Structure 1
Amino acid sequence: MSFTMNDTYDALPDPTTQPAFYEGVGVKRLLAWVVDTILIGVVAAIVASIPLFLLWFVFPLVFLVVSLIYRIGTINAFSATPGMRLFNIELRTHQGQRLDGSTAALHTIGFMIASAFFIPQVASVFLMLMSERGQGLHDMFTGVVAINSPGRH
Structure 2
Amino acid sequence: MPELPDPRYHADLYSGVTIKRLVAWCVDLLITALITAILVPFTLFTALFYLPFLYLMVSFFYRWISIARGSATPGMRMAAIELRNRDGHRLETSEAALHTLGYTVSVGVFPLQLVSIALMIISSRGQGLTDHIMGTAMLNKRATY
TM-score band by shorter chain is over 0.9
RMSD over equivalenced CA pairs, Å: 1.2
Q: Runs of 5+ in structure 1 lacking a partner?
A: 1-6
Q: Report the alpha carbon displacement of residue 56 of structure 1 after superposing the two structures with TM.
A: 1.3
Query: Across the two proteins, how many residue pairs are aligned to each other?
Result: 145
Q: Report the alpha carbon displacement of residue 83 of structure 1 after superposing the two structures with TM.
A: 0.1
Matching residue of 1:43 = 35
Which runs of structure 2 are paired with 1:2-151 in the superposition (5 Å)? 7-8=1-2, 11-151=3-143
Q: Report the alpha carbon displacement of residue 50 of structure 1 after superposing the two structures with TM.
A: 0.9
Q: Report the alpha carbon displacement of residue 74 of structure 1 after superposing the two structures with TM.
A: 0.1
The C-alpha deviation readout for 1:29-65, integer Å capped at 9, x for no partner, is 0010000001000001111221211111111011011
Q: Which runs of 4+ in 1 moved over 6 A?
A: none
The C-alpha deviation readout for 1:80-104, integer Å capped at 9, x for no partner, is 0000000000000010000011000
**Cα separation, 2, equivalents of 1:17 and 1:29:** 22
- Identity over aligned pairs, percent: 42
**Cα separation, 2, equivalents of 1:118 and 1:43:** 24
**Cα separation, 2, equivalents of 1:108 and 1:150:** 23
**Cα separation, 2, equivalents of 1:140 and 1:49:** 40
Secondary structure of 1:50's aligned partner: helix
Point out the more displaced range, 68-77 or 109-118: 109-118
Q: Report the alpha carbon displacement of residue 67 of structure 1 after superposing the two structures with TM.
A: 0.6
The C-alpha deviation readout for 1:127-151, integer Å capped at 9, x for no partner, is 0000111111111111110000112
8 Å CA contact 1:88, 1:152 repeated in 2: no
TM-score normalised by structure 1 residue count: 0.91
Q: Runs of 5+ in structure 2 lacking a partner?
A: none
Secondary structure of 1:98's aligned partner: coil
Q: Report the alpha carbon displacement of residue 152 of structure 1 after superposing the two structures with TM.
A: 5.2
